[in-house]
Structure 1
């Protein structure tokens, strides 16, 4: 037992001596290792700081798979069927969706909704749509909006009347004569203006 103890302790003492002896030589290697770490961190920060370029929607849809698309209003569906692409006016910008898109829920503002039956051929249906919500799930896209009017069916007189009524109501809100929701009125104004704009492109 005594020899083993001596052997054990002597091993530890040799370890200490090697550490003491190697400490000057190890310092440069430590400095080299430590100096390399900041460089690695800087490279990671540089990579993370790059602002990603905005995603560009493909100019050509190579995957021809279609999926179910629904554009629904309180009065019923404005469009139900298959499409290659649907582009809706999201609150932060247009949202384009193809088949097999990841699940998504988004708020929609008044604007132009385009349902592409054939992207490459430019075959699409355009609707002037009011605010609402958009959901993608199980390879199906559903847009629930206050109103949807096919561009070719926009009634200019009706749109102008809606615009004037919403503007008049908004003025009453500003004077404190109405408790109507300002945001809804602004969306109605934009929707009416959007109908007139879309009608001019149809």
Structure 2
């Protein structure tokens, strides 16, 4: 973990501040344009894509697939041993892991496919389209993964969900009472007068 952090820190620090190139900022473009070392060196671009995106994504996808297969194997073994009660107790944690894995792979795997189509697939009519879609949409969709993790964990917390429901119920009930309390209700109701009649 520390090695990965130090490697990424040194890599970007050296290339951003130490690489001899002239940055040309495009203020109407995403992130003011591409970093100059990525535009000047295809080797650095391919290395960065492979080491910082494709390789970790491959490990995560393979790990998630192995985890899901292992979960189903464990379920089958517990069923044979008549230990499904233990499975039901751990089902909430398993569902959280599966939801997180599905959320991550649903964004990052298509982004990786678009990266391959836009950068490495030559003579492809979808090359410009893939690069454009990845830059415009999937670059921002990664934040959906980051901010979606807490909600995925929240789905599996039954006690916390019950507490949130009680809070919303109490708030809605108080709001309803305040609304009726502030409403003016007349004490007397005057019956409608017929045509040509008077009160006297």
TM-score band, normalised by the shorter chain? Answer: under 0.3
Pick the structure with more strand per residue: 1
Relative contact order (C-alpha < 8 Å, sep 6+): which is higher? 1
